[in-house]
Structure 1
Amino acid sequence: MKKQVTIKDIAKELGVSHSVVSRALNPNPDKNARISPETKERIVKTAKRLGFQRNRIAEFLKHGKAATIGVFMPEFSNRLGADLMMGISEAAAEYGFPLNFYFGMNYSSFETFIHKNIKNPCSGIISYPFEFGESEELKKLFSEFADSGGKTILLNTTCGSGFPVLYMNNQKGSQIAADFLIKKACSLYLVDNSHRGRSDSFLSYIDGKGFLDRCVRFDFQEFPTIFKRVADNRTGFPIGIFAANDQNAADIIRKVRELGLQFKEEIALVGYDDLQLAAQLDPPLTTIHQPFRYEGRRAVEKLINVIYGGNEEDESIDPFLVERETA
């Protein structure tokens, strides 16, 4: 078994004192402990080459806390949730922080999560308070955690807690979809209203390009009726369709096939999310990919910076188009 590299090993390798190495590798060093930038760079490079990893458990125990990062996530059983977990897990392992995952879809489960992390102080939390909205109760919970010294990064929320938020830029994703369909010179645009923020952004972009009069916004349960009427009275091809998510897009594919229409030539369909099913559909779905794995990694990096006294601002992550066979 490979021996764990210690600060003493690095000091011996470079011929410097143990205390110099300790100061160089301390993310929050004493302001009076001076070390030249050149020496610090040499120590950091050597530590990385030798495979040194900080003992986070011992480091945080000195301050009466656990090194563990608490993570609260909604119970998503799809690729988005899996990618987010992988990104968080990869980065936490890389930086030497243990993780505790908690799952829930209601306020009570989130309240339990916060109180557990106040009672048993952790290094910080990454929280995805899905669909809790803005409420005084939620703000009070976050204030309670902050007052206990808790450090937090929030994901994909607008709860207005005052903590840094890392979020997917749905506005950008919808604009990418709209621009893509505009370039297909669609005669008409059918816009799924299942996700109001995405449909609003799509239509706003279309309006800016002067094509709003070609748009029909629909509630998804009305799609079969609206689509048949549009297909029967069509004046030109292709008809562009923006689905609010990939599951809705899968239902749209079935309806298009029922009417005997062809993708690309007659129908241009763009979904949203890039779930695993998107590439397996027949035909494979052109869709907007949300990089949740990257978001997980960034969340850990931002939280660690906050834990060690750094400042973090809100940050958006841009989705991107994955072009397949439906457009």
Structure 2
Amino acid sequence: MKQSEIKKTNPTVQDVARAANVSTATVSRALSAPDRVSAKTRDKVAKAVEETGYVLNHAARNLRRRDTGTIVALVPDIGNSHFSNILQGIETVCADRNLKVLIADTRKPSMSRQRINDYFSKNNCDGIVILDGHFSISEIRATNPKLPPIVTCGEWSDDPAVPIAVVDNLLGADLAVSHLLELGHRDIGHVTGLLTHKPGRDRVEGFKATLKRADLDPEKAWIFEGDYTLESGETAASTWLNLPERPTAVFCAADRTAFGFISALNEVGVRVPHDVSVVGFDDIDIAGHFVPPLTTVHQPRRAIGEQAAQLLLNVMEGGNPEEGNVKLQPWLVVRKSTAHRGGSQQD
């Protein structure tokens, strides 16, 4: 078809779909989440857009669909830099689509259950990104079946219809424990995250699996139950101090837990890494400036946020939510909180 025959005053997405010989849903995905379609399809859609002169009109789209132009991010602790980095990624992607991001701190005293439930309404937002693992989406859907599109970010969902963007926690735990094994440690403990959440359970599973591969009995390993907080690290340090036989290295499920663990030991003269090596998980901004600088598993938090936002946009544009899970790879950042068994600093 000649370009002059295709172009008209107000081309629509249907015109683009006809010109590219694809569905309107495919056009929407190609424009809103290009990484979700093949390069060949992207090229076909891009050529059709140029031929038809189509321009995505966000204001008209919002009026037609009665959209709010707003995405809600439900966050358990806005003050935690782990979440603020993820939010930066979400906001970057949404800004490109002229979407506002409303951030709601789910743990604030003023955040009532009714107020949270109000967010799960199509009248109040176009989509929701959940960063708080305490939500049961299945229970919410049972009482309110007409939910806006939802994705979870950094957490797993109990609803298979909800896409997730997470880090590979099993791999992260493996990186941490393998590093300690390479330094000669055989007596290794783990301060867990929340065991009611899958990320916390996965880190325990990864910890035990790596020990088992090293011919160490994971059931005899030291497990200190925690919840990602400074306080749980302090509690684990107190327990560690009272052990008749102490692990020479400890893997903490979160950097903040590691900070609490190290600080409590420092108060009684126990030196890290001379007396015990410590590895964290997250690589939050302060990790490299702590004393000693923390060896930790880096989560690509901004990328996790960007992927979560792309998943949400794809569902909002009619994509299949059950095809959208994304798992990103972490990596180990070696600093000064780990040393060879016996206290000598690694190279």
Query: Scaled by the length of structure 1, what TM-score is found?
Result: 0.75
The number of equivalent residue pairs is 298
**Deviations 1:70-104 (Å, cap 9, x if unpaired)?**
22222231211111111111000112222222221
Unmatched 5+ stretches in structure 2: 27-39, 196-200, 226-232, 339-347
Alignment check: 8 A CA contact 1:25 1:44 kept: no
Match of 1:126 among 121, 126, 129: 129
**C-alpha contact 1:139 1:161 (8 A) present in aligned 2:** no
Q: Residue type matched to 1:29 in 2?
A: T
Of 205-214 and 179-188, deviating more is 205-214
Corresponding position of 1:24: 16
Which one of 112, 115, 118 corresponds to residue 115 of structure 2? 112
Residue of structure 2 in register with 1:5 after alignment = none
What is the match of residue 210 of structure 1? 215
Contact 1:114 1:145 in 2 (8 A): no
In the other structure, the counterpart of 2:296 is 287
Q: TM-score, normalised by structure 2?
A: 0.71
Check 1:140–1:280 CA distance in 2 against 1; reply closer, same or farther (3 A cut).
same
- Note the 1:2-151 alignment, pairs <5 A: 16-20=7-11, 23-24=15-16, 29=24, 40-42=45-47, 44=49, 54-105=56-107, 109=112, 111-118=114-121, 120=123, 122-132=125-135, 134=136, 139-143=138-142, 145-147=144-146, 150-151=148-149
Distance 2:191 2:238 in 1: 12
Superposition deviation, residue 62 in structure 1: 0.7
CA distance in 1, matches of 2:94, 2:330: 23
Give 1:310's aligned residue.
Answer: 319
Change (3 A) 1:217 1:63: closer
Tell me: CA distance 1:123–1:46, structure 2 relative to 1, closer, same or farther (3 Å): farther
Distance 2:298 2:330 in 1: 6
CA distance in 1, matches of 2:51, 2:190: 56
Q: Taking structure 1 as reference, are residues 266 and 299 closer, same or farther at Cα in structure 2, changes over 3 Å only?
A: same
Quote the sequence identity (%).
21
C-alpha root-mean-square deviation of aligned residues, in Å?
A: 3.8
1:222–1:241 Cα change, 3 Å: closer
* Residues 270 and 39 (structure 1), Cα distance of their counterparts in 2 relative to 1, 3 Å cut: closer
> Residue 323 in 1 paired to residue 334 in 2?
yes
5+ long unaligned stretches in structure 1: 1-10
**1:182-219 CA deviation, whole Å, 9 max, x = no partner?**
11121421222454422343123212321237733335
Contact 2:152 2:165 in 1 (8 A): yes
Match of 2:345 in 1: none
User: What is the CA deviation profile of residues 23-69 of structure 1, one whole-angstrom value per residue up to 9, with x for unaligned ones?
Assistant: 338997399xxxx977743355799xx9x973323202112232322
User: For residues 74 and 277 of structure 2, what CA distance do their matches in structure 1 show?
Assistant: 38
**Structure 1 equivalent of residue 164 of structure 2:** 165
